[in-house]
Amino acid sequence: MRFLHCHKLHVVLTALRRCALILVVLGAVTGCTSLSQQQSNSTSAAVYDPIEPVNRIVFAFNDAVDVVVIRPISIVYADLLPDPVKDSVRSFLRWLKSPIILANELLQGNLDAASATTERFFVKAASLGLVEAADAEQPPYRSEDFGQTLAVYNVGAGPYLVLPFIGPSNLRDLIGTVVDSIIDPLATPVTVLDPQKTAATLSVSRQVLTGVDFRGESLTQIDGLKRESLDYYATVRTIYNQQRVSEILNGEQPTGVSTQTDDQLFQSFEPTEDGVKPAQSGQPAVDN
């Protein structure tokens, strides 16, 4: 789920940062591009998942962490705090993300969105980000990240990945997460100059709080999804993928060939008239 996606594993990121990061990014982007060719035959209903057995194990681990730690904390958080306080927390967390969103909007060449984000940032600054800017004239709040920016430049998603603590991702979005953590003015430069790791602690706290807030807000939805799904792993995988496609397109209808896969599924679907009728099992179909 998205909350897990928000839990950037700081240790991993710091380690990655120490590596020759540019090389990693460039190498992986090339990898993604060659993978996008492979993906074009695939659909978002059938996400490219070459290491599914490993992913399933990590997914089960994350789910256990959710059951034992995150969900209980989220329930307490959601029940304990009054709605206005939670709204302020959410508003503040979004405000802190403004620089990353702005940077990615600029990288995507979306100047209208960038100017809206800038305006919103300064309007909210008056309340230290605690009050959401309510302006009907402005486009609605959208989150942007470097994974979306790469997608805008036609970088394919690459293999689906489930990361420990972070949750659903793919090669492209993992790179995006790393790059975002580097360009985040609130996390990186300070971390480097900060032997006490205060900034790192703050950064992780922020991400955990974002996760707890999201989990608390969508408690019934996620619980319902888990309860009803026959294959929770496959359900989360397709939802993550569909949501990412939607976020990349900023909620618009797909226009590019590479993102029309769901439409193509419906177009190529030919129901044959083979006269099969639903079984009634001796009772009306509405008996439950």
Partner 1 sequence: MRRALKMLSVRCVVTIVFLGFLSATPTSVAAEAATRQAAMIVQDFSDQVLQLVTVKDISDAEKRVRFQGLLNTYFDVPTIGRFVLGRYWRRASAAEKSRYLGVFAKITAHSFVSRFSEYDGQLPRFISASQIDDRYIIVKTEIFDPNGGSPPFQVNWRVVANKTPMKIMDVVIEGVSLSITQRAEYAGFIQQNGGRVANLNSALEKKLAELK
Contact set with partner 1 (CB under 8 A): 44-47, 140-141, 220-221, 224, 227-231, 233-235, 237-239, 242-243, 245-247, 249, 251, 253, 262-263, 265-267, 269, 271, 274, 276-281, 285-288
Write down the least CB distance from residue 53 to partner 1, Å: 11
Write down the least CB distance from residue 25 to partner 1, Å: 27
Nearer to partner 1, 196 or 267 (CB): 267
Write down the least CB distance from residue 77 to partner 1, Å: 18
Beta carbons of 149 and 176 less than 8 angstroms apart: yes
Written as six digits, the tokens of 41 are 């035959």
Nearer to partner 1, 148 or 203 (CB): 148
Instruction: Answer positive or negative: Cα dihedral of 167, 173, 179, 183.
Output: negative
Write down the least CB distance from residue 151 to partner 1, Å: 14
**If we measure between CA atoms, which residue out of 85, 77, 79 comes closest to residue 211?**
77
3-state secondary structure of 159: coil
State the Cα–Cα distance between residues 185 and 55, nearest whole angstrom. 32
- H helix intervals, the chain: 2-6, 10-18, 21-39, 52-65, 71-80, 83-107, 111-125, 146-152, 171-183, 188-192, 198-217, 219-228, 232-248, 261-267
Beta carbons of 203 and 191 less than 8 angstroms apart: yes
Nearer to partner 1, 196 or 281 (CB): 281
Nearer to partner 1, 10 or 95 (CB): 95
Nearer to partner 1, 47 or 100 (CB): 47
CB neighbourhood size of 186 (10 A): 17
Write down the least CB distance from residue 71 to partner 1, Å: 18
Nearer to partner 1, 196 or 220 (CB): 220
State the Cα–Cα distance between residues 77 and 69, nearest whole angstrom. 12
Radius of gyration of the chain (CA): 21
Nearer to partner 1, 109 or 224 (CB): 224
Backbone angles phi, psi at 168, to 5 degrees: -60, 140
State the Cα–Cα distance between residues 270 and 251, nearest whole angstrom. 28
Write down the least CB distance from residue 83 to partner 1, Å: 8
The upper half-sphere exposure of residue 199, i.e. CA atoms within 13 Å in the direction of its Cβ, equals 14
Nearer to partner 1, 196 or 288 (CB): 288
Write down the least CB distance from residue 117 to partner 1, Å: 16
Instruction: Answer positive or negative: Cα dihedral of 22, 100, 163, 249.
Output: negative
Write down the least CB distance from residue 221 to partner 1, Å: 7
